[in-house]
């Protein structure tokens, strides 16, 4: 097939559950490509000599090579190819913002719709899981060096996988009772099933990585104690798990949740299976979710599935400025979530028992762009109104987990409390300690956290081979990012 014929093949949609069905269940929304469709979609790739798509992939997947293997029906080889650089392909194929990463740079996208790189990655990863065995990468001989990875989110899992491949002994310490970080406690089942994360964690454990769950570093051992007790290096990937509130009246009323608490209760502690699981969650009728990012969409769609009759997103800018993935906004709209745009809450109102019964909102208009490049929301005086609600979920952002910074005085932090680390090396101000993912960047994305994991693994390997490496380039200051 020549390039012209390939360009004529339309991008394939992924079959998915109908909105009226899926709004009542927690099953995954898209079903994934069947084999024939995946192979046809893979034919759309032009096999560019200088593949621009790869420039948009922080974990350096050899995109044309794996797509060619799918097109030829060599799916096992395709997943092996992906796993040469990506330890979490089933995760990336589902939640990675491909539209603004690899796919945004695909050459086919210049004239039409880009090749569905993410959906093909998901297909290859699902093929492996359905085959019931894992494609195991080659491991270097044991180096005799030992590395502690703190946190088992995408950053920690990636650094651990790469270091294990390089022959180093890795122990991951995770505060929660399940590995995966936001992938398990934040992102809901209908977007990323827990068994899929677990399968990817299992295949990392298969490489010899040790996983110590329920281990809170900073409470159990400090970083200094880990370094004194035989670890040659440490990677800190503790994420941004601390909720941020707006500091408006009524935020401590019963029924006002942080998105973190709400989603953790539902996801990780299976509150939606109450009373089989002893983790109650509020029974809602009318819900207000504050924010416009992925976390807000996940909270709103979770509330709907938990039985709420009406779920409102309240977002202070317009739809164009929403940080959530376009696909997730679309899914939420299809499911009947109501979008109150250019609207901001100014206080929550409670009853005599301290339970939230309403939210007072104010309408906004867009002014000049602010430092984030997005137009600043400006309140419209006199536009205040009251909306009756019985549950509020605040999803306006997350801050860094403070425990490790608090117990490691010589770790340099920025003014928001994030660890300062060079984005080129993940090196921190403390010798032998590297950091990446949300604890450094602030709330970002899975693929950026994984990209940091890869960078850190290379740096740690260089440091373990030659400790003088540490003294060469100085850590650069971490640029601060503005986020909703």
Binding stretches for ligand SF4 (CB under 6 A): 45-48, 51-53, 63-64, 67, 106-108, 115, 117
Q: Is 175 in the site for ligand FAD (CB under 6 A)?
A: yes
Which of ligand FAD, ligand SF4, none does residue 42 bind to, with CB < 5 to 8 Å depending on kind? Answer: none
Which of ligand FAD, ligand SF4, none does residue 63 bind to, with CB < 5 to 8 Å depending on kind? Answer: ligand SF4
Minimum distance from residue 390 beta carbon to ligand FAD (Å): 22
Cα–Cα dist 117/59, whole Å:
14
Part of the chain binding ligand FAD (CB under 6 A), chosen from 47-55, 195-203, 293-301, 372-380: 293-301
For ligand FAD, the binding residue among 70, 96, 125, 419 (CB under 6 A) is 96
Residue 203-242 contact track with ligand FAD, rule CB under 6 A, x = bound = -------------xxx------------------xxx-x-
Residue 447-476 contact track with ligand FAD, rule CB under 6 A, x = bound = x-x---------------------------
CB pairs under 8 A, 24+ apart, for 94-99?
Answer: 94/118, 94/122, 94/191, 94/192, 94/196, 95/183, 95/187, 95/191, 95/192, 95/446, 96/445, 96/446, 96/447, 97/325, 97/445, 97/447, 99/325, 99/326, 99/327
Which of ligand FAD, ligand SF4, none does residue 48 bind to, with CB < 5 to 8 Å depending on kind? Answer: ligand SF4
Minimum distance from residue 74 beta carbon to ligand FAD (Å): 28
Q: Is 164 in the site for ligand FAD (CB under 6 A)?
A: no
Could you tell me how far CA 55 lies from the centroid of its own chain? 20
Q: Is 405 in the site for ligand FAD (CB under 6 A)?
A: no
Q: Is 442 in the site for ligand FAD (CB under 6 A)?
A: no
Minimum distance from residue 18 beta carbon to ligand FAD (Å): 22
Which of ligand FAD, ligand SF4, none does residue 89 bind to, with CB < 5 to 8 Å depending on kind? Answer: none
Which of ligand SF4, ligand FAD, none does residue 253 bind to, with CB < 5 to 8 Å depending on kind? Answer: none
Part of the chain binding ligand FAD (CB under 6 A), chosen from 129-137, 175-183, 455-463, 471-479: 175-183
Which of ligand FAD, ligand SF4, none does residue 444 bind to, with CB < 5 to 8 Å depending on kind? Answer: ligand FAD
Which of ligand FAD, ligand SF4, none does residue 342 bind to, with CB < 5 to 8 Å depending on kind? Answer: none
Minimum distance from residue 51 beta carbon to ligand SF4 (Å): 4
Which of ligand SF4, ligand FAD, none does residue 108 bind to, with CB < 5 to 8 Å depending on kind? Answer: ligand SF4
Q: Is 181 in the site for ligand FAD (CB under 6 A)?
A: yes
Q: Is 400 in the site for ligand FAD (CB under 6 A)?
A: no
Binding residues for ligand FAD, rule: CB under 6 A, are 95-97, 150-156, 173-176, 181-182, 186-187, 216-218, 237-239, 241, 263, 294-295, 298, 325, 401, 403-404, 437-439, 443-447, 449
């Amino acid at each position: 097939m020549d390039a012209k014929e390939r360009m004529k093949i339309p991008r394939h949609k992924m079959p998915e559950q109908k909105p009226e069905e899926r709004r009542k269940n927690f099953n995954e929304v898209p079903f994934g490509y069947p084999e024939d469709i995946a192979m046809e979609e893979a034919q759309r790739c032009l096999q560019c000599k200088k593949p621009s798509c790869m420039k948009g992939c922080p974990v350096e997947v050899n995109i044309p090579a794996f797509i060619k293997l799918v097109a030829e029906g060599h799916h096992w080889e395709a997943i092996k190819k992906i796993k040469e650089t990506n330890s979490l392909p089933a995760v990336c194929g589902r939640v990675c913002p491909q539209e603004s990463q690899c796919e945004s740079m695909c050459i086919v996208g210049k004239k039409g719709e880009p090749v569905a790189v993410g959906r093909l990655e998901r297909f290859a990863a699902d093929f492996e899981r359905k085959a019931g065995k894992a494609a195991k990468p080659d491991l270097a001989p044991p180096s005799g060096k030992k590395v502690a990875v703190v946190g088992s989110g995408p950053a920690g899992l990636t650094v651990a996988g790469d270091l294990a491949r390089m022959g180093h002994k890795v122990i991951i310490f995770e505060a929660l009772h399940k590995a995966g970080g936001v992938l398990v406690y934040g992102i809901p089942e209908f977007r990323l099933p827990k068994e899929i994360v677990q399968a990817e964690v299992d295949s990392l454990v298969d490489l010899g990585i040790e996983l110590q769950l329920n281990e809170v570093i900073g409470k159990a051992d400090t970083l200094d104690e880990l370094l004194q007790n035989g670890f040659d290096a440490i990677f800190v990937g503790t994420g941004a798990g601390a909720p941020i509130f707006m500091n408006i009246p009524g935020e401590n009323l019963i029924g006002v949740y942080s998105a973190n608490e709400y989603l953790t209760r539902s996801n990780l502690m299976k509150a939606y299976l109450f009373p089989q699981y002893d983790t109650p969650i509020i029974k809602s009728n009318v819900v207000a979710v504050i924010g416009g990012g992925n976390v807000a969409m996940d909270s709103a769609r979770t509330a709907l599935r938990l039985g709420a009759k009406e779920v409102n997103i309240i977002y202070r800018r317009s739809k164009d400025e929403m940080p959530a993935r376009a696909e997730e906004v679309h899914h939420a709209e299809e499911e009947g979530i109501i979008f109150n745009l250019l609207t901001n809450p100014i206080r929550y109102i409670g009853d005599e028992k301290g339970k939230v019964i309403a939210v007072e909102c104010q309408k906004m208009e867009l002014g000049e762009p602010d430092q984030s490049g997005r137009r600043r929301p400006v309140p419209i005086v006199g536009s205040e109104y009251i909306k009756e609600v019985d549950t509020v979920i605040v999803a306006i952002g997350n801050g860094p987990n403070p425990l490790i910074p608090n117990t490691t005085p010589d770790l340099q932090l920025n003014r928001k409390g994030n660890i300062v680390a060079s984005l080129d090396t993940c090196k921190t101000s403390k010798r032998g300690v590297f950091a990446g993912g949300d604890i450094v960047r602030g709330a970002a994305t899975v693929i950026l956290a994984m990209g940091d994991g890869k960078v850190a693994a290379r740096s740690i390997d260089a440091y373990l081979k030659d400790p003088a490496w540490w003294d060469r380039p100085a850590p650069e200051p971490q640029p601060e990012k503005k986020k909703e």
